[in-house]
């Protein structure tokens, strides 16, 4: 009846094992952080115990069981406090190296140290009381404060009980009390391990969910940036699209008027572009457009704006540029286009363009629409006068 469920259990355990490996470094970082927080508190508590037992020892006769109990607990709490101090120091030193073996093992060392000290305290307590509460508190405290992988944690608790079992018999000689304490010790270990497993699985689930959320958030940010890029850039050439170019140009013209500098707009339209598409196909036309975009971007200054208005028409905004300087740059770009045919399959496609310029000074205060209209008229004249020229 249980056979159909066996593969499911095996798959569940394999999935858990894989998940535990993924969060182990994060658990180590959390353990180190907790040791830095809780270590000083444990040191203070042990110091208080040491102070109390030191005072009690001063007024106690030496040699009886009560004296041995006080002296033993004084030594154990001193040792435990020094161990807590060492763990705190180690956690502080390893706060940026939690991925290495020392960072991973410090949590296990602290857990084993706490359980060992608890066994010693309970063993000493048997001289005056059959109580094993310190061992129960230690088992639960380790499961609560330190994230441990379930299978190694089971080994740790088994090892703690294997030490607890004989040691408690050294000081507790009443058979009934000894049996009761050993049975209660098993319960304490099982409760501590169960709490450790529950909290580890909760930590694992939260950590993996947080990673998924961070991954989704990162992907969303990338998609948002890509969407912003697509809304601002031309998909084929990577240049500013028409709307973005107009927006940036208007802002630049306002700045130029405030600073008292000239601004020039350059329009260029590829000559006989339809013939390229008809002869070599649209993929060849796309290659030509990308070539022109790259050539224009590398010819102008880094402060200039280059955009694609649509089709085979491009536009360049030249801040701090007079009409004469704009003419020289346009002529330079025209010659580069004419002298760099586009490789396509077994041939090379010649490219030329017609250019129209318009410029404004701060005194004229012409807006973008006016400049664009004038540059478009100049471009029309360049086409009328035979193409492949600057007007």
The DSSP code sequence of 230-295 is HHHB-TTT-SB-HHHHHHHHHHHHHHHHHHT--EEEEEEEETTHHHHHHHH-HHHHHHHHHHHHHH
pTM of the shown model: 0.63
CA–CA separation, 382 and 353 (whole Å): 9
CA–CA separation, 85 and 47 (whole Å): 11
- The fourth-level CATH superfamily of domain 242-384 is Reverse transcriptase/Diguanylate cyclase domain (3.30.70.270)
What's phi and psi for 298, nearest 5 deg?
A: -85, -15
Query: Which residue reads 């010790």 in tokens?
Result: 185
Query: Would you kindly state where each structural domain of the chain is located, as residue ranges?
Result: 3-218, 242-384
Give the DSSP letter of residue 390. B
CB atoms within 10 A of CB 370: 15
The tens place of each residue's pLDDT in the chain, 391 residues long, gives 445 555 687 887 788 888 888 888 888 888 899 999 999 999 999 999 999 999 888 877 777 778 889 999 999 999 999 999 999 999 888 877 656 677 788 999 999 999 999 999 999 999 999 999 999 999 999 999 999 999 999 999 999 999 999 999 999 999 999 999 999 999 999 999 999 999 999 999 999 999 899 999 888 888 887 777 667 888 889 898 888 888 888 888 888 888 888 999 999 999 999 999 999 999 999 999 999 999 999 999 988 999 998 889 999 999 999 999 999 999 999 999 999 999 998 899 999 999 999 999 878 878 889 999 999 999 999 999 999 999 9
Q: Where are the alpha helices (DSSP H) in the chain?
A: 6-58, 65-93, 101-125, 133-145, 150-171, 175-232, 242-259, 273-280, 282-299, 323-338, 368-384
Query: Cβ(125)–Cβ(134) under 8 Å?
Result: yes
Where residue 121 falls (left for φ over 0; alpha for ψ -120 to 50; beta otherwise) is alpha
Give per-residue pLDDT as tens, 16-57.
888 888 888 888 888 899 999 999 999 999 999 999 999 888
Give per-residue pLDDT as tens, 86-132.
999 998 888 776 566 777 889 999 999 999 999 999 999 999 999 99
- Structure tokens given for 93: 């030193």
Q: 381, 361, 363: which is closest to 371 by C-alpha?
A: 361
CA–CA separation, 292 and 165 (whole Å): 84
Provide the pLDDT for residue 25: 86
């Amino acid at each position: 009846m249980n056979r159909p469920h066996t593969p499911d259990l095996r798959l569940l355990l394999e999935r858990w094992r894989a998940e535990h490996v993924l969060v182990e470094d994060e658990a180590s970082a959390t353990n180190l952080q907790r040791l830095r927080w809780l270590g000083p508190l444990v040191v203070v508590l042990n110091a208080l115990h040491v102070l109390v037992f030191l005072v009690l020892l001063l007024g106690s006769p030496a040699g009886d069981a009560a004296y041995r109990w006080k002296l033993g607990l004084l030594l154990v709490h001193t040792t435990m406090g020094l161990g807590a101090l060492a763990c705190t120091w180690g956690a502080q030193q390893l706060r940026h190296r939690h991925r290495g073996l020392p960072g991973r093992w410090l949590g296990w060392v602290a857990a084993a140290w706490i359980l060992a000290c608890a066994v010693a305290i309970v063993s000493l307590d048997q001289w005056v009381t059959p109580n094993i509460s310190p061992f129960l508190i230690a088992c639960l405290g380790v499961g609560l404060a330190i994230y441990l992988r379930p299978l190694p944690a089971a080994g740790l608790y088994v090892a703690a009980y294997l030490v607890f079992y004989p040691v408690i018999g050294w000081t507790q000689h009443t058979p009934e009390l000894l049996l009761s304490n050993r049975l209660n010790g098993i319960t304490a270990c099982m409760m501590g391990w169960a709490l450790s497993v529950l909290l580890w699985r909760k930590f694992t689930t939260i950590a993996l969910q947080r990673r998924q959320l961070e991954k989704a958030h990162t992907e969303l940010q990338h998609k948002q940036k890509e969407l912003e890029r697509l809304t601002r850039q031309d998909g084929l050439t990577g240049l500013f699209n028409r709307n973005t170019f107009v927006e940036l140009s208007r802002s630049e013209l306002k700045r130029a008027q405030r600073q008292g500098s000239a601004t020039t707009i350059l329009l260029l339209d590829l000559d006989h572009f339809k013939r390229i598409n008809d002869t070599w196909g649209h993929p060849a036309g796309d290659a030509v457009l990308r070539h022109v975009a790259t050539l224009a971007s590398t010819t102008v200054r880094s402060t200039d704006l280059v955009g694609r208005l649509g089709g085979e028409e491009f536009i360049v905004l030249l801040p701090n540029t007079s009409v004469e300087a704009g003419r020289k740059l346009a002529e330079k770009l025209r010659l580069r286009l004419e002298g760099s045919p586009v490789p396509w399959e077994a041939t090379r496609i010649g490219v030329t363009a017609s250019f129209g310029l318009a410029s404004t000074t701060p005194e004229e205060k012409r807006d973008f629409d006016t400049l664009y209209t004038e540059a478009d008229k100049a471009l029309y004249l360049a086409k009328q006068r035979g193409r492949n020229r600057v007007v």
